[in-house]
Amino acid sequence: MDSLFNIEIWITLFLQNLGEWLLLPFQAISFLATEEFFILILPLVFWSIDAMMGFRMAIMLVINGSFNNYFKMLFHSPRPFWYDARVKSYSLETGFGLPSGHSQNAASQFGIMAATVRKRGFTIAMLVVIFLVGLSRLYLGMHFLRDVLSGWLLGGLSVWLYMRFEKPTGAWLSTKTLAQQILLSLALAVTLILLGFGVQALSAAWQMPAEWINNAKLTGGAVPDPFNMEGTITLAAVAFGFLSGYAIWVKKYGQPQTLGSAVKRFARYIVGIVGVIALYLGLKMLFPEEPLFLGFVLRFVRYTLIGFWVTYFAPLIFKKLNLEK
Protein backbone atom coordinates (compact mmCIF):
# COMPACT_ATOMS: atom_id res chain seq x y z
CA MET A 1 0.00 0.00 0.00
CA ASP A 2 2.85 2.41 0.85
CA SER A 3 4.36 1.86 -2.60
CA LEU A 4 1.08 2.98 -4.21
CA PHE A 5 0.99 6.05 -1.98
CA ASN A 6 4.56 6.85 -3.05
CA ILE A 7 3.55 6.66 -6.72
CA GLU A 8 0.43 8.76 -6.23
CA ILE A 9 2.23 11.39 -4.17
CA TRP A 10 4.25 12.30 -7.25
CA ILE A 11 1.05 13.25 -9.07
CA THR A 12 0.26 15.78 -6.36
CA LEU A 13 3.85 17.07 -6.27
CA PHE A 14 3.87 17.42 -10.06
CA LEU A 15 0.66 19.45 -10.03
CA GLN A 16 1.79 21.68 -7.16
CA ASN A 17 5.13 22.32 -8.90
CA LEU A 18 3.22 23.88 -11.81
CA GLY A 19 3.07 27.00 -9.67
CA GLU A 20 0.93 28.90 -7.18
CA TRP A 21 -0.80 30.80 -10.00
CA LEU A 22 -3.23 27.87 -10.02
CA LEU A 23 -4.06 28.24 -6.33
CA LEU A 24 -6.94 30.74 -6.48
CA PRO A 25 -8.64 29.16 -9.53
CA PHE A 26 -8.50 25.69 -7.98
CA GLN A 27 -9.68 26.94 -4.59
CA ALA A 28 -12.66 28.56 -6.33
CA ILE A 29 -13.41 25.38 -8.28
CA SER A 30 -13.09 23.28 -5.12
CA PHE A 31 -15.62 25.53 -3.34
CA LEU A 32 -18.22 24.51 -5.93
CA ALA A 33 -18.38 21.06 -4.32
CA THR A 34 -18.60 22.07 -0.66
CA GLU A 35 -21.66 21.58 1.51
CA GLU A 36 -21.58 25.33 2.24
CA PHE A 37 -21.97 26.10 -1.47
CA PHE A 38 -24.85 23.69 -1.89
CA ILE A 39 -26.59 25.02 1.23
CA LEU A 40 -26.73 28.39 -0.58
CA ILE A 41 -27.50 27.06 -4.06
CA LEU A 42 -29.92 24.23 -3.22
CA PRO A 43 -32.64 26.56 -1.83
CA LEU A 44 -32.23 28.78 -4.91
CA VAL A 45 -32.89 25.79 -7.16
CA PHE A 46 -35.78 24.49 -5.02
CA TRP A 47 -37.56 27.84 -4.64
CA SER A 48 -36.81 29.61 -7.89
CA ILE A 49 -35.58 27.31 -10.67
CA ASP A 50 -36.81 23.70 -10.53
CA ALA A 51 -38.32 22.24 -7.35
CA MET A 52 -37.82 18.64 -8.48
CA MET A 53 -34.15 19.26 -9.22
CA GLY A 54 -33.77 20.92 -5.82
CA PHE A 55 -35.41 17.95 -4.12
CA ARG A 56 -33.10 15.52 -5.89
CA MET A 57 -30.05 17.61 -4.99
CA ALA A 58 -31.06 17.55 -1.33
CA ILE A 59 -31.33 13.75 -1.33
CA MET A 60 -27.94 13.49 -3.05
CA LEU A 61 -26.36 15.84 -0.52
CA VAL A 62 -27.63 13.87 2.48
CA ILE A 63 -26.95 10.36 1.18
CA ASN A 64 -23.53 11.07 -0.33
CA GLY A 65 -22.39 13.21 2.57
CA SER A 66 -23.39 10.54 5.09
CA PHE A 67 -21.86 7.59 3.26
CA ASN A 68 -18.73 9.56 2.51
CA ASN A 69 -18.28 10.03 6.25
CA TYR A 70 -18.82 6.31 6.87
CA PHE A 71 -16.33 5.21 4.23
CA LYS A 72 -13.71 7.68 5.45
CA MET A 73 -13.91 6.28 8.98
CA LEU A 74 -13.80 2.69 7.71
CA PHE A 75 -10.75 3.04 5.44
CA HIS A 76 -8.52 5.25 7.68
CA SER A 77 -6.75 6.54 4.58
CA PRO A 78 -4.40 9.54 5.00
CA ARG A 79 -4.41 12.76 3.07
CA PRO A 80 -1.29 13.53 1.02
CA PHE A 81 -0.13 16.28 3.36
CA TRP A 82 -0.41 13.87 6.30
CA TYR A 83 1.64 11.27 4.45
CA ASP A 84 4.41 13.45 2.99
CA ALA A 85 5.57 16.79 4.39
CA ARG A 86 6.70 17.87 0.90
CA VAL A 87 3.04 18.32 -0.06
CA LYS A 88 1.68 21.79 0.60
CA SER A 89 -1.68 22.00 2.35
CA TYR A 90 -3.78 24.56 0.50
CA SER A 91 -7.02 23.84 2.36
CA LEU A 92 -8.21 22.91 5.85
CA GLU A 93 -9.51 19.36 6.16
CA THR A 94 -9.56 17.23 9.31
CA GLY A 95 -11.11 13.96 8.13
CA PHE A 96 -9.64 10.96 6.34
CA GLY A 97 -9.02 11.09 2.62
CA LEU A 98 -10.73 8.09 0.99
CA PRO A 99 -13.09 8.73 -0.73
CA SER A 100 -12.90 12.40 -1.72
CA GLY A 101 -16.01 14.16 -0.42
CA HIS A 102 -15.66 17.02 -2.90
CA SER A 103 -15.35 14.62 -5.84
CA GLN A 104 -18.33 12.61 -4.60
CA ASN A 105 -20.40 15.75 -4.05
CA ALA A 106 -19.51 17.05 -7.50
CA ALA A 107 -20.37 13.78 -9.24
CA SER A 108 -23.66 13.41 -7.36
CA GLN A 109 -24.86 17.03 -7.37
CA PHE A 110 -23.85 18.06 -10.86
CA GLY A 111 -24.67 14.56 -12.08
CA ILE A 112 -28.24 14.74 -10.76
CA MET A 113 -28.60 18.19 -12.31
CA ALA A 114 -27.53 16.78 -15.67
CA ALA A 115 -29.89 13.81 -15.25
CA THR A 116 -32.75 16.24 -14.58
CA VAL A 117 -32.04 18.71 -17.40
CA ARG A 118 -31.13 16.00 -19.97
CA LYS A 119 -29.49 18.31 -22.49
CA ARG A 120 -26.21 17.38 -24.12
CA GLY A 121 -24.51 20.74 -23.77
CA PHE A 122 -25.47 21.02 -20.11
CA THR A 123 -24.31 17.47 -19.41
CA ILE A 124 -20.91 18.15 -21.00
CA ALA A 125 -20.55 21.31 -18.91
CA MET A 126 -21.36 19.40 -15.73
CA LEU A 127 -18.82 16.68 -16.60
CA VAL A 128 -16.15 19.36 -17.09
CA VAL A 129 -16.96 20.84 -13.66
CA ILE A 130 -16.83 17.38 -12.05
CA PHE A 131 -13.41 16.72 -13.61
CA LEU A 132 -12.02 20.11 -12.56
CA VAL A 133 -13.22 19.62 -8.98
CA GLY A 134 -11.33 16.33 -8.76
CA LEU A 135 -8.21 17.91 -10.29
CA SER A 136 -8.41 20.77 -7.81
CA ARG A 137 -8.39 18.35 -4.87
CA LEU A 138 -5.17 16.79 -6.17
CA TYR A 139 -3.50 20.17 -6.64
CA LEU A 140 -4.57 21.47 -3.22
CA GLY A 141 -2.87 18.50 -1.57
CA MET A 142 -6.09 17.17 -0.08
CA HIS A 143 -6.40 13.85 -1.89
CA PHE A 144 -4.59 11.02 -3.61
CA LEU A 145 -5.75 9.95 -7.07
CA ARG A 146 -7.56 6.92 -5.62
CA ASP A 147 -9.60 9.22 -3.36
CA VAL A 148 -10.82 11.25 -6.32
CA LEU A 149 -11.59 8.23 -8.50
CA SER A 150 -13.55 6.51 -5.72
CA GLY A 151 -15.48 9.72 -5.01
CA TRP A 152 -16.47 10.01 -8.67
CA LEU A 153 -17.49 6.35 -8.72
CA LEU A 154 -19.67 6.58 -5.61
CA GLY A 155 -21.26 9.87 -6.67
CA GLY A 156 -22.07 8.57 -10.13
CA LEU A 157 -23.44 5.32 -8.73
CA SER A 158 -25.73 7.22 -6.36
CA VAL A 159 -27.18 9.22 -9.28
CA TRP A 160 -27.87 6.04 -11.24
CA LEU A 161 -29.50 4.33 -8.25
CA TYR A 162 -31.64 7.37 -7.47
CA MET A 163 -32.92 7.73 -11.01
CA ARG A 164 -33.54 3.99 -11.19
CA PHE A 165 -35.64 3.82 -8.01
CA GLU A 166 -37.18 7.30 -7.77
CA LYS A 167 -40.52 6.42 -9.38
CA PRO A 168 -41.23 3.14 -7.52
CA THR A 169 -40.14 4.68 -4.21
CA GLY A 170 -42.29 7.77 -4.80
CA ALA A 171 -45.27 5.59 -5.69
CA TRP A 172 -44.82 3.56 -2.51
CA LEU A 173 -44.52 6.67 -0.34
CA SER A 174 -47.66 8.17 -1.88
CA THR A 175 -49.66 5.31 -0.37
CA LYS A 176 -48.56 6.30 3.14
CA THR A 177 -50.35 8.75 5.42
CA LEU A 178 -48.71 12.04 6.32
CA ALA A 179 -47.90 10.75 9.82
CA GLN A 180 -46.28 7.66 8.34
CA GLN A 181 -44.18 9.74 5.94
CA ILE A 182 -42.95 11.93 8.78
CA LEU A 183 -42.10 8.87 10.88
CA LEU A 184 -40.23 7.38 7.92
CA SER A 185 -38.25 10.63 7.61
CA LEU A 186 -37.38 10.43 11.30
CA ALA A 187 -36.43 6.75 10.94
CA LEU A 188 -34.08 7.67 8.08
CA ALA A 189 -32.42 10.37 10.18
CA VAL A 190 -31.99 8.07 13.18
CA THR A 191 -30.59 5.32 10.94
CA LEU A 192 -28.01 7.68 9.44
CA ILE A 193 -26.88 8.72 12.92
CA LEU A 194 -26.73 5.16 14.27
CA LEU A 195 -24.72 4.03 11.26
CA GLY A 196 -22.26 6.85 11.91
CA PHE A 197 -21.76 5.94 15.56
CA GLY A 198 -21.57 2.26 14.63
CA VAL A 199 -18.78 2.87 12.13
CA GLN A 200 -17.03 5.09 14.66
CA ALA A 201 -17.21 2.27 17.24
CA LEU A 202 -15.55 -0.14 14.81
CA SER A 203 -12.45 2.07 14.88
CA ALA A 204 -12.28 2.45 18.66
CA ALA A 205 -9.00 0.51 18.86
CA TRP A 206 -7.38 2.16 15.84
CA GLN A 207 -4.53 4.58 16.50
CA MET A 208 -3.54 7.33 14.09
CA PRO A 209 0.18 7.28 13.22
CA ALA A 210 1.99 10.13 14.96
CA GLU A 211 3.77 10.89 11.69
CA TRP A 212 0.47 11.89 10.06
CA ILE A 213 -0.28 14.41 12.80
CA ASN A 214 3.26 15.81 12.72
CA ASN A 215 3.25 16.18 8.94
CA ALA A 216 -0.13 17.94 9.06
CA LYS A 217 1.37 20.51 11.43
CA LEU A 218 4.54 20.90 9.36
CA THR A 219 2.59 21.61 6.17
CA GLY A 220 0.31 24.15 7.83
CA GLY A 221 -2.73 21.91 7.53
CA ALA A 222 -5.51 21.41 10.05
CA VAL A 223 -4.92 18.96 12.90
CA PRO A 224 -6.64 15.66 12.01
CA ASP A 225 -9.97 15.02 13.75
CA PRO A 226 -11.34 12.17 11.61
CA PHE A 227 -14.00 10.77 13.93
CA ASN A 228 -15.97 13.96 14.52
CA MET A 229 -19.71 13.19 14.31
CA GLU A 230 -21.05 16.72 13.79
CA GLY A 231 -21.31 16.30 10.02
CA THR A 232 -23.29 13.07 10.31
CA ILE A 233 -25.79 14.60 12.74
CA THR A 234 -26.13 17.73 10.60
CA LEU A 235 -26.99 15.76 7.47
CA ALA A 236 -29.45 13.50 9.30
CA ALA A 237 -31.23 16.51 10.78
CA VAL A 238 -31.43 18.28 7.41
CA ALA A 239 -32.93 15.10 5.93
CA PHE A 240 -35.61 14.92 8.63
CA GLY A 241 -36.58 18.59 8.41
CA PHE A 242 -36.45 18.76 4.61
CA LEU A 243 -38.44 15.58 3.99
CA SER A 244 -41.00 16.28 6.72
CA GLY A 245 -41.66 19.78 5.44
CA TYR A 246 -41.89 18.50 1.89
CA ALA A 247 -44.40 15.79 2.86
CA ILE A 248 -46.61 18.29 4.71
CA TRP A 249 -46.51 20.75 1.80
CA VAL A 250 -47.40 18.11 -0.79
CA LYS A 251 -50.34 16.87 1.33
CA LYS A 252 -51.71 20.40 1.77
CA TYR A 253 -50.84 22.15 -1.49
CA GLY A 254 -49.59 19.55 -3.98
CA GLN A 255 -46.19 19.38 -5.66
CA PRO A 256 -44.07 22.55 -5.20
CA GLN A 257 -43.94 24.83 -8.24
CA THR A 258 -41.36 27.39 -9.34
CA LEU A 259 -43.65 29.79 -11.19
CA GLY A 260 -43.66 33.55 -11.55
CA SER A 261 -41.53 36.30 -13.05
CA ALA A 262 -37.77 36.55 -12.60
CA VAL A 263 -38.35 39.34 -10.07
CA LYS A 264 -40.64 37.18 -7.93
CA ARG A 265 -38.26 34.20 -8.16
CA PHE A 266 -35.40 36.41 -7.03
CA ALA A 267 -37.53 37.85 -4.23
CA ARG A 268 -38.37 34.33 -3.04
CA TYR A 269 -34.69 33.50 -2.77
CA ILE A 270 -33.83 36.69 -0.88
CA VAL A 271 -36.67 36.22 1.63
CA GLY A 272 -35.94 32.53 2.04
CA ILE A 273 -32.17 32.71 2.36
CA VAL A 274 -32.47 35.43 5.01
CA GLY A 275 -34.47 32.90 7.04
CA VAL A 276 -31.85 30.20 6.50
CA ILE A 277 -29.06 32.51 7.67
CA ALA A 278 -31.10 33.74 10.64
CA LEU A 279 -31.79 30.18 11.79
CA TYR A 280 -28.21 29.08 11.22
CA LEU A 281 -26.51 31.99 12.99
CA GLY A 282 -29.20 32.77 15.55
CA LEU A 283 -29.61 29.24 16.86
CA LYS A 284 -25.85 28.68 16.73
CA MET A 285 -25.41 31.58 19.17
CA LEU A 286 -28.28 30.42 21.40
CA PHE A 287 -27.56 26.67 21.53
CA PRO A 288 -24.57 25.47 23.58
CA GLU A 289 -22.26 22.77 22.19
CA GLU A 290 -21.34 21.34 25.58
CA PRO A 291 -21.99 18.93 27.16
CA LEU A 292 -21.48 16.87 24.04
CA PHE A 293 -24.77 14.95 24.10
CA LEU A 294 -26.81 18.14 24.59
CA GLY A 295 -24.77 19.78 21.84
CA PHE A 296 -25.62 16.97 19.44
CA VAL A 297 -29.33 17.14 20.32
CA LEU A 298 -29.48 20.91 19.80
CA ARG A 299 -27.50 20.62 16.56
CA PHE A 300 -30.12 18.13 15.36
CA VAL A 301 -32.90 20.59 16.29
CA ARG A 302 -31.16 23.50 14.56
CA TYR A 303 -30.63 21.74 11.26
CA THR A 304 -34.08 20.12 11.36
CA LEU A 305 -35.57 23.61 11.52
CA ILE A 306 -33.39 24.76 8.62
CA GLY A 307 -34.51 21.83 6.48
CA PHE A 308 -38.15 22.41 7.45
CA TRP A 309 -37.80 26.09 6.62
CA VAL A 310 -36.65 25.31 3.09
CA THR A 311 -39.55 23.02 2.19
CA TYR A 312 -42.44 24.39 4.26
CA PHE A 313 -42.08 27.63 6.24
CA ALA A 314 -40.39 29.65 3.48
CA PRO A 315 -42.84 28.51 0.75
CA LEU A 316 -45.71 29.34 3.13
CA ILE A 317 -44.34 32.87 3.53
CA PHE A 318 -43.99 33.13 -0.26
CA LYS A 319 -47.66 32.23 -0.53
CA LYS A 320 -48.67 34.84 2.07
CA LEU A 321 -46.63 37.48 0.26
CA ASN A 322 -48.07 36.46 -3.12
CA LEU A 323 -44.62 35.49 -4.40
CA GLU A 324 -45.40 31.92 -5.39
CA LYS A 325 -46.96 32.72 -8.81
Cα(35)–Cα(169) distance, integer angstroms: 26
Half-sphere exposure of residue 34, counting CA atoms within 13 Å on the CB side? 14
* Domain limits, the chain: 2-164+173-320
Asked whether the bond before 288 is cis by omega within 30 degrees of 0, the reply is no
296, 231 Cβ separation under 8 angstroms: no
Residue 221: what pLDDT?
65
Q: What is the pLDDT of residue 92?
A: 81
Q: Are 275 and 314 in contact (CB under 8 A)?
A: yes
Confidence of residue 193 (pLDDT cuts 50, 70, 90): very high
The Cα–Cα gap between 168 and 310 comes to 25
How do residues 296-309 score in pLDDT, each as one tens digit? 999 999 999 999 99
- Cβ contact 68:199 at 8 Å: no
Look at the alpha carbons of 253, 167, 50, 148 in this order and tell me if their dihedral is positive or negative.
Answer: positive
Q: Is the pLDDT of residue 1 over 60?
A: no
CA distances from 15 to 10, 173, 263 (A): 8, 48, 44
pLDDT tens digit sequence for 123-151: 999 999 999 999 999 999 999 999 999 99
Cis peptide before 209 (omega within 30 of 0): no
Q: Which spans in the chain are helix H?
A: 2-16, 23-31, 35-44, 51-75, 80-83, 101-117, 120-139, 145-174, 178-202, 210-218, 230-253, 262-286, 292-308, 314-320
Q: What is the pTM of this model?
A: 0.92
The pLDDT tens digits of the residues spanning 35-80 come to 889 888 999 999 999 999 999 999 999 999 999 999 999 999 999 9
Q: Would you say 42 and 61 are in contact if contact means Cβ atoms under 8 Å apart?
A: yes
Tell me the CB-side half-sphere exposure of residue 15, using CA atoms within 13 A. Answer: 25
* Residues 6-37 pLDDT 10s: 889 999 999 999 999 999 999 999 999 988 89
Angle at 248 between CA 243 and CA 253, to 5 degrees: 125
Give the pLDDT of residue 208: 87
Closest C-alpha among 162, 41, 155 to residue 100: 155
d(CA 27, CA 50) in angstroms, rounded, equals 28
pLDDT digits (tens, 9 = 90+) for 205-256: 888 888 888 888 777 666 788 888 999 999 999 999 999 999 999 999 999 9
pLDDT of 64: 95
- Please count the other Cβ atoms lying within 10 Å of the Cβ belonging to residue 165: 11
More confident residue, 225 or 316: 316
